[in-house]
Structure 1
Amino acid sequence: MSRIFYLAFGAAAGVVVVRRAAKAAAALTPTSLAGSLVQSVQEFLADVREAAAEREEEIRVALGLDRDPDDDPFESSGRPAGADAGVAGPGAAGAAGYPDNLDDAERTMRLVPGARRP
């Protein structure tokens, strides 16, 4: 009786080992590896596109490029709308967090990491 048990156990173990080995061999074929590599590259490129879109949106908001040209961001006082009279002064932060006395070139220089003046 024990011989039949060990014979059945050995046959079952052999089937499991052969199936796992075949699955591992199929995963290491050039076609499978290429498909996996292509999928990884596509996921990476999607992440890069998403990050680039987020960064572009940050830059557009900071520079005010999406602002409606018909809207006047300045009141009759010449200061940005909603600015508190006690807060405005030299070096006061504007809407994008930059001092009001910066020109567009200086704001761009601060947005681009590693940028230097010519």
Structure 2
Amino acid sequence: MKKIFWLGVGITVGVIAARKITAAKGALGPAGLNRAVGAMSDAVHDFADALRENMNERESDLRIALGVDTDPSATTRR
């Protein structure tokens, strides 16, 4: 029974290692680097968009609170 258990553990470890090695090979090289840079670029772009949107919203709230603008629709979005 012990031998069957260790055989199963060995097969499982082998399959996991083979998948990790295949994934690592796919991450290396120009195609993998291109995917990594593209994902990083998308993340930075999404963060900048969210920051810009929240900054404009906060500016609008502050202008209303300070009495500069009385109507929320009066502010122009940049």
Specify the TM-score bucket, using the shorter chain as the normaliser.
0.5 to 0.7
Give me the identity figure in percent: 28
Structure 2: tracts of 5 or more residues without a match = 72-78
Instruction: Choose 22-31 or 5-14, whichever is displaced more.
Output: 5-14
TM-score, normalization by structure 2: 0.54
Letter in 2 for 1:22: T
Post-superposition offset of 1:37: 0.6
Question: Can you list the C-alpha shifts for 1:8-66, whole angstroms capped at 9, x where unaligned?
Answer: 65344222101022224434521221122122112211221122112320243124324
How many residues of Structure 1 are paired with residues of Structure 2 in the alignment? 65
More helix by share: 2
Q: 2:68 aligns with which of 64, 72, 78?
A: 64
Q: 2:48 aligns with which of 40, 45, 49?
A: 45
Query: Which has the higher Rg, Structure 1 or Structure 2?
Result: 1
**What stretches of structure 1 move > 6 A for 4+ residues in a row?**
none
TM-score, normalization by structure 1: 0.40
**C-alpha RMSD of matched pairs (Å):** 2.8
